[in-house]
Amino acid sequence: MRTRATELLGIDLPIFAFSHCRDVVAAVTNAGGCGVLGAVAHSPKQLDIDLTWIEDEVKGKPYGVDLLVPEKFVGAEEGGLDRAQLGSLLPDEHKEFVEDLLRRYDVPPAPEDINIGRGVGGMRVDPKSMAPLLDTCFDHQPRLVASALGPPPGYFLDRAHDAGVPVAALAGSVDHARRHAAAGADLIVAQGTEAGGHTGLVATMVLVPEVVDTVAPLPVLAAGGIARGRQLAAGMALGADGVWCGSVWLTTEEAETPQEVKQKFLHAGLGDTVRSRSITGKPARMLRTPWTDEWESPEGPGPLPMPIQPLLVGPALQRIYRAAGKEGSGANQLATYFVGQVVGSMRSVQPTRRVVLEMIDEFIDTVQRLDGFLVDG
């Protein structure tokens, strides 16, 4: 397939796969698309390990790296705060709320030496902590870098463009897309509210054509609610040059999704997700569980802003995941993860490559079906 997005990256299929799992990234790239590694919670050392592994697996084929680069976060005026400074901002009320929540759901304590450097508690969103990740990133050969949660800042764009690497930026509104284009992004991801993770309020069907018209001639990827070939075809029909998918990979064989969460996904319905600030401090779509409900409770203190909220809840979520294997336990009830509304159609565990190929097969069938509606004369 040939679109502006495939030509920009030199790939065969207009499928961009966001995943925190390096195995999924490599599998999608090797299937002809472009895997994109979500690296916001990586340490520089772990990022180097994962990118080295990916490059060994894909042997020169294109892959990308995604980083959160928000405009607004606690400490933005100072260029970012370190972990100790952020920790000093944690209110006792919030710490007590989390401990009480874990106690009420009988979540056992974790070993004292538990590592919270990677995962939600280790999110890096400010220029100070981002710099080592960028250094590591460009010690390797990504063919795309993505900026989420805001227009790509000048230092991010300059570093990428100096290396000859295009920059993608995620947009949940037309205004966001316009600002990304003005900043110098090379590829706009129009992400509808159906998507998992950080997302806005406008639906994909409405958002994509508006963004396409607004940023033309920049290529646009459709995101949000895309897991099948029919949805790929719909995104292309709306004017996009490809699709950006995340949730569909969470139930693949390669995904590092905790097994207990993966099972929840496989049994979830279309209405079982919610936009919640309970993990990152910014609205993100995830599986609705007692964890999200408790944070919405009027009796609770309410989530803190990014990046204080992830620092607060990171250790708690690790405790929950460690103990969630027992079905029906409090930890199992609380366990959640970022996922889009398309989770309701994810019904089986398959190899990543098969998901890609089935998506393309259904895309072809869909296009042929549409062709059949045309009547000569």
What CATH number has the domain bearing residue 51? 3.20.20.70
**pLDDT value at residue 176:** 95
- What's the number of domains the chain is made of? 2
Residue 138 within a domain = yes
18 and 139 both lie in a single domain? yes
The pLDDT, as a whole number, for residue 40 is 84
Domain membership flag for residue 162 = yes
- Indicate if 87 and 211 belong to the same structural domain: no
Residues 100 and 239 in one domain: no
Residue 335: inside a domain: yes
Query: Do you find a cis peptide bond into 307, omega within 30 degrees of 0?
Result: yes
Q: Which residues of the chain have pLDDT under 50?
A: 116-118
pLDDT digits (tens, 9 = 90+) for 287-302: 999 999 999 999 999 9
Residue 132 lies in a domain: yes
pLDDT score recorded for residue 126: 63
- pLDDT (tens digit per residue) in 314-331: 999 999 999 999 888 999
In the chain, what is the straight-line distance between the N-terminal and C-terminal CA atoms, in Å?
29
The residue segments making up the domain with residue 163 are 1-73+125-249+347-377
Q: Where are the alpha helices (DSSP H) in the chain?
A: 4-9, 22-30, 44-58, 83-87, 92-104, 127-138, 154-162, 174-183, 204-215, 229-237, 259-267, 290-296, 308-323, 330-334, 352-371
Residues 293, 226 within the same domain: no
CA 126 – CA 252 distance, rounded (Å) = 32
Quote the tokens at residue 347: 């019904």
The pLDDT value given to residue 120: 58
Report pTM: 0.92
Task: Tell whether 114 and 162 lie within a shared domain.
Answer: no
The reply to whether 141 and 237 lie within a common domain is yes
**284 plus 297 within the same structural domain:** yes
Structural domain includes residue 78:
no
* 3 inside domain: yes
- 217 with 194, same domain? yes
